[in-house]
Amino acid sequence: MSAEPAIRLKHNTIKPARLVEIAFAPFTGQFSQKDIAVEMNLPYTLPLISCDIAKTAWVLTIFFSNAIRYTPQWGKLSVRAMLENGLMRLSVENSGYGVPLEKLQQMFERNENPDSPDFGQSLALLLAREIVEVQGGTIGAVSELGVMTRFYITLPIDQTGEKI
């Protein structure tokens, strides 16, 4: 009996800007309603990334969902794509409350204690971590209390040279 991967991937190539556009589209109205300024720094000249487009877009929707929830009215959202150490780095940063360091360190971890008040929280981020890591990438977050929170992923760039 062979073990099959828990997460099945359908790899394809896509421009980082297009991937962000797919993930951000459902949230456009919500950011507008809260008067949140949106800054996109997604150079179209960046290389293609190789990923499961639907699953990776879903990971980005988690970042956007958290940003809409935790960014105060008239706040700011900044989305960036850039090459970093041979990988594509996509980041979603929002102004606002920030995340305490102890919570930040546990954000992508499984809480096994059913008596904990945090039990069951961050399940989406836990699944997001698995999706990104199975594609050869990384996921993380940094925060400064009262200033900002930035979630990011890194993904492999496409090595085939194919264009979309």
Distance between CA atoms of 52 and 124, rounded to whole angstroms?
A: 17
62: tokens are 């988690």
Radius of gyration of the chain (CA): 16
Whether residue 15 lies inside any domain: the answer is: yes
Does 163 map to a domain? no
- The pLDDT value given to residue 101: 84
Q: Which helix (H) or strand (E) holds 28?
A: helix 28-33
Whether residue 101 is contained in a domain is answered as: yes
pLDDT number for residue 58: 97
Is residue 3 domain-resident?
no
For 164, other C-beta atoms within 10 Å of its C-beta total 10
Q: Which pLDDT does position 119 carry in this prediction?
A: 44
| In-domain check, residue 123 | yes
CATH number at residue 120: 3.30.565.10
Residue 53 forms part of a structural domain: yes
* Closest-CA residue to 158 (of 59, 60, 88, 62): 88
Give the whole-angstrom CA distance, residue 164 versus residue 150: 28
Q: Is residue 94 part of a domain?
A: yes
Query: How much is the pLDDT for 8?
Result: 82
Mean pLDDT by 10 residues, the chain (164 residues): 66 95 97 96 95 97 95 96 95 93 77 51 83 94 94 89 49
Please spell the DSSP secondary structure of 79-139, one letter per residue: EEEEEETTEEEEEEEEESS---HHHHHHTTS----TTSTTTTTTHHHHHHHHHHHHTT-EE
Q: Is residue 131 part of a domain?
A: yes
Q: Residue 120: what pLDDT?
A: 47
Q: 152 pairs with which residues across the strands?
A: 91, 140
Question: How many folded domains does the chain comprise?
Answer: 1
Q: Assess contact for 59 and 114: CB atoms under 8 A.
A: no
The whole domain housing 104 covers 11-156
